[in-house]
Structure 1
Amino acid sequence: MRNKWAESGKTCKFPQSLMIWGCMSGKGMGEMTVITSSINAQVYVEILDTFLIPSIERMFGDGSIIFQDDNASCHRAKSVKTFLQERHIMSMAWPANSPDLNPIENLWWKLKKMVHDKAPTCKADLATAIRQSWRQIDEVYCLSLAESMPQRIQAVIKARGGATKY
């Protein structure tokens, strides 16, 4: 998952912003990286190869997983689908205009709060604060997010596709 990161520091004239990619599962935090280029399918495959694959291997070994991302166009590119298929990674299918049920959105929110509390004042401090905060998120929190998926789906069904608390 990727996230555009914006953070205002107390002494910054302009808000600082970074793009990050990170992953999580019910087993805990996966890898995270700061992205310094624009994202297209080729860059996304490189990110998956460099950060997702080692995270899967560390957390699941040879076990099977279902990979959930957002529906960004670069995530749906043929080269990305081929990459995932070649590595036997099943990608969760969902409609393009569906409610965002991805638990990592809750993780981004928590991470932003943690980083805000560190009050970074420049991009370098922001990157450091993000990395430190990422490492502080524990497995119990990640498991609670993963286990919330049935409730998330039920809430969307009950709301007939409308807004939910998630």
Structure 2
Amino acid sequence: MAWAEISADNKTSLVIIEGILTAQGHIDNAVRFHVIPFLSDHPGITTLQKDNACPHAAGVTTELLQAENVDMPWPTFSPDSNPTEHAWVYLTRYLSLHDPKLQNKRQLIQATKEEW
């Protein structure tokens, strides 16, 4: 799974998470090492938007974000209103046009990181 956040003029690093994402995995791989430092480095950004994935909505995740004073509102149920979803569409489109064609997982991860 790939995870990242975007703002109007910036983005977090891209995180590749192997296996099934749990709430604790989301906290350990994304929130603690990317969300919180990103917001500390960019004090003008006060809100990031999450989607409705279970690890994002879990109580342990919400409690940590609240403790860190991170505002991550719920989007409406339409993915069209979440700008991050549009970024994934563009990234997927780019990767599908990659020449030469990506042959394996390692190539896919490398190309994804390069494009991000």
Q: Which has the higher strand share?
A: 1
Q: CA deviation at 1:93?
A: 3.2
2:78 pairs, out of 99, 108, 117, with 99
Runs of 4 or more above 3 Å deviation: none
In structure 1, runs of 5+ residues without a counterpart are 1-18, 135-166
State whether structure 2 residue 36 is matched by structure 1 residue 53. Answer: yes
| Counterpart contact for 1:115–1:129, Cα < 8 Å | yes
What SS class does the counterpart of residue 39 from structure 2 fall into? Answer: helix
Cα displacement string for residues 51-101 of structure 1 (whole angstroms, at most 9, x for unaligned residues):
22222233x23x451221111122111111111011111121356xx2121
Seen in structure 2, the aligned counterparts of structure 1 residues 123 and 91 have a Cα distance that, compared at 3 Å, is same
State whether structure 2 residue 25 is matched by structure 1 residue 31. Answer: no
In structure 2, runs of 5+ residues without a counterpart are none
Identity %: 23
State whether structure 2 residue 54 is matched by structure 1 residue 73. Answer: yes
- Matched residue type, 2:78: P
Q: CA deviation at 1:50?
A: 1.3
| Counterpart contact for 1:44–1:75, Cα < 8 Å | yes
Cα RMSD for the two superposed structures: 1.6
Matches of 1:122 and 1:64, distance apart in 2: 36
Aligned residues: 112
Greater relative contact order structure (CA < 8 Å, 6+ sep): 1
Q: Point out the structure with max Rg over C-alpha.
A: 1
State whether structure 2 residue 88 is matched by structure 1 residue 108. Answer: yes
1:8 maps to what in 2? none
- Matched residue type, 2:39: I
